[in-house]
Structure 1
Amino acid sequence: MKHRTTAGLAAVALASIALTGCASGDNSAEGASDANVCEVEPAAETSPAPSPSPEDVKAVEGIEVTGPVGEAPKVSFKTPLEVSSPSSRVVDEGSGDELAEGAQATINYVVLGGKDAKQTYSTWETKKPETFTLGDPQYDLLNDRLIGQKVGTRIAMASTAMDQTVQVTVVEVAEVNQIPTRAEGTAVEPEAGLPAVELADDGQPTVTIPADYQAPSELVVQPLIEGDGPKVTKEQTVTVQYAGCLLDGTSFDSSWSRGTPTSFPLNGVIPGWTNGIAGQKVGSQVLLVVPADQAYGDQENGAIPANSTLVFVVDILEAKAA
């Protein structure tokens, strides 16, 4: 189980996202025995985080945080500060809306080195607070500590970063926003011959790709559900549910498998996503068939072979300024 620092969370590898499209409703493919079926893997169970030792608890209790909520805090502690596992305490209890799993939390935070207490990063200074979905496994360091708290909560925590140095982070929740978990709107009849999509009761897609389906030379953008929200622009950050497949039915990536929607800047992913999602309405579901030249070209990327056409089903849940 990965335990990221908040600073590490800001560096999620968004550019690796590849999404596969699925059609909604009962647009099931005929002759399924001659088709490739792409099913999303179920969400994996995660192991509980190790419990902090009494020494870890004492170390975090020694972190002093002063200053009014809403402003950059002053943080001090005895150096060097060391912990054997992620440890935290609530410095200030919030009084705003409750933080529930599946909601989007916007946080400000400051990071200091445990060895010398020198500040290494602050969203207050960059004026770029970070937004994520509560429950997203990539933020496992924060989920249990924030879910059930309220807006305005301030926590102090110490953890080991990816370079094995101890970091002290003070996090403050600035805002929470409840968003849908799936696309809701008017069903759109897709063009004949495209990969077909069936939706489970919770909205999770299964994609059926005809065995004789020919990879397109140009990007295919097929709305399956039309939402009633504003149109997405390339400069925005979007929150989506998605499933990605290869033409042989292999599932290579899915937010459904991680249990929560995913947010990323639309200008920071593959061109097929940037070009396919921009111009669509929030609340829509879109099937994308992305040629290799708008995906990863002749480069292998994880489970995606070189020169692969990618299929995505994308539920656009929210779009906001990056």
Structure 2
Amino acid sequence: MRIRPLAALSVVALTTLLLAGCSGSAAPDATPSPTSTASSACGLDPKSGADSDAVTVSGAAPQLTAEVPTDLAFTDLQRTIATEGDGDDLAIGQLVSGQYQIIDPSTGEVQLDSADTSADDTGLVPLIVDGNSIIGSAVLCTPLGSTTAFTIPGSMLGDGASNVVVVAQSVDELPTAATGDDQEPVAGMPTVELADDGEPTITVADDFQAPDTTQIATLKKGDGATVESGDTVIVQYTGVLPDGTVFDSSWQRGAPAQFQTTGVVQGFQKALEGQTVGSQVIAVIPAAEGYGEAGQGSIPANSPLIFVVDILGVQRAATAE
């Protein structure tokens, strides 16, 4: 994706904010940090208003188009369902394919079109349905297949931020656990058992010895797009310490997580890049490629980490002209 040169840095940062939600990550090099769960089943629960009603959305993903008046008031957050789909209402924790556009309301120009960052020839990207991010809330509590127009005051996005319009459409529901073909276990790796919903339980041997460099084994092999450096990856994951203590889990929070491969610790990045969507991998990460001497939260200093990661979707990184 080529971003307009005058807005390149701001659009990259804005896209990250719109995808990640209001609370964000505690540290840029951390494994994914829990984000607050909105109290309402419909999250931000935006209502329609004069601004969002005035945005005209046409076409269907991956070829959405929108006309945005330049005189919108942006007095509050508004969302209008431009076209209602015929699927079930989407709920927090689901994953769907779709398209979104970020539009500069002062000019009507599309600053970023997710269709240009699709990792395959569908032109679609994966969208986590959630209640604390703008993109997730664009489709939350709307019937699958709906198109929406979202008008967002800059004051909601931080000091000095500009007003933004987002249009989006959900297309198909995607699985929230890896669906690839089972692979033969690798000797010496921790064992993994899966619950009916796909959540893993990881058992670490009593004589566990941390490797010198990250060791990775494929548990399920998917046939989707390959993860590249800098991509935004949608995953389910569980992380445990060598004593089996779970220190982080998207499964326990009830929704997949998303982050750039370059925004996590080195060992976790190694576990993601080069893998295919639909795959499940186990990674044993030495402290030197994790949090090292500093530790992180409940992770002690100099602790190895073990992760099981389901790779559910990927979106290519945007680049400036």
Matched, 1:124 2:110: yes
Matched, 1:90 2:80: yes
1:314 is matched with: 309
Give the structure 1 partner of residue 39 of structure 2.
47
C-alpha change, 1:63 and 1:47, in structure 2 (3 Å) is: closer
**Offset of residue 282 of structure 1:** 2.9
Q: How many residues align?
A: 280
SS in 2 for 1:178: strand
Structure 1 residues 298 and 46, CA gap change in structure 2 (3 angstroms): same
The one of the two structures with greater contact order (alpha-carbon pairs below 8 A, sep at least 6) is 1
1:272 to 267, 276, 279: 267
Based on CA coordinates, which of the two structures has the bigger radius of gyration? 1
Distance 1:298 1:167 in 2: 40
Q: Distance in 1 between matches of 2:145 and 2:219?
A: 36
User: What do residues 41-91 of structure 1 show as CA deviations (whole Å, max 9, x unaligned)?
Assistant: 9x9975225888xxx97xx43566345533453245575x545xxx53416
Aligned letter for 2:101? N
Partner of 2:235: 240
Q: Does 1:108 align with 2:101?
A: yes
Measure the CA separation in 2 of the matches of 1:137 and 1:233.
28
Residue type matched to 2:201 in 1? Answer: T
3-state SS of 1:273 partner: helix
The residue type equivalent to 2:96 in the other structure is A
Q: Secondary structure at the match of 2:267?
A: helix
Task: Say whether the 8 Å CA contact 1:224–1:285 is kept in structure 2.
Answer: yes
Shift of 1:230: 5.1
Comparing 90-99 with 288-297, which one deviates more in the overlay? 90-99
Offset of residue 203 of structure 1: 0.7
Is this contact kept in 2: 1:110–1:171, CA < 8 A? yes
Please state whether the residue corresponding to 1:293 is helix, strand or coil: helix
Q: 1:224-280 CA deviation, whole Å, 9 max, x = no partner?
A: 223344544335443221111222333222221232223333333322122223333
Give the match for residue 35 of structure 1: none
TM-score (structure 1 length as normaliser): 0.68
My pick for the range that moved more, 281-290 or 98-107, is: 98-107
Tell me how far 1:222 sits from its aligned partner: 1.5
Determine the structure 2 residue equivalent to 1:284.
Answer: 279
- Say whether the 8 Å CA contact 2:38–2:44 is kept in structure 1: no
**Does the Cα contact within 8 Å between 1:229 and 1:282 map onto a contact in 2?**
yes
Distance 2:126 2:133 in 1: 8
- Aligned counterpart, 2:196: 201
Where 2:210 maps in the other structure, the secondary structure is coil
- Which whole-Å deviations, capped at 9, do the CAs of 1:157-195 have from their partners, x for residues lacking one? 456626489975432115534322212343333334432
Per the alignment, residue 18 of structure 1 pairs with 31
Matches for 1:139-150 after TM superposition, within 5 Å: 139=133, 142-143=136-137, 146-149=140-143
312-321 vs 157-166, which moves further: 157-166
* Amino acid corresponding to residue 139 of structure 1 in structure 2: S
Does structure 1 conserve the Cα–Cα contact (< 8 Å) formed by 2:104 and 2:110?
no
More deviation, 100-109/285-294? 100-109
Counterpart in 1 of 2:17?
A: 8
Aligned equivalents of 2:200 and 2:312: distance in 1? Answer: 15
SS of structure 2 residue aligned to 1:240: strand
User: In structure 1, what is the Cα distance between the partners aligned to 2:303 and 2:111?
Assistant: 42
Give the aligned residue type for 2:133. Y
Matched-pair contact (CA < 8 Å) for 1:135–1:259: no
In structure 2, relative to structure 1, the CA distance for the partners of 1:164 and 1:288 (3 Å cut) is: same
Instruction: Supply the AA of the counterpart residue of 1:209.
Output: V
Contact 2:130–2:140 under 8 Å retained in 1: no
SS at match of 2:54: strand
- Displacement of 1:200: 0.7
Distance 1:44 1:139, change over 3 A: closer
Matches within 5 A, 1:144-163: 146-149=140-143, 151=145, 153-158=147-152, 161=156, 163=158
- From 292, 300, 304, give the equivalent of 2:295: 300
Percent identity reads 32
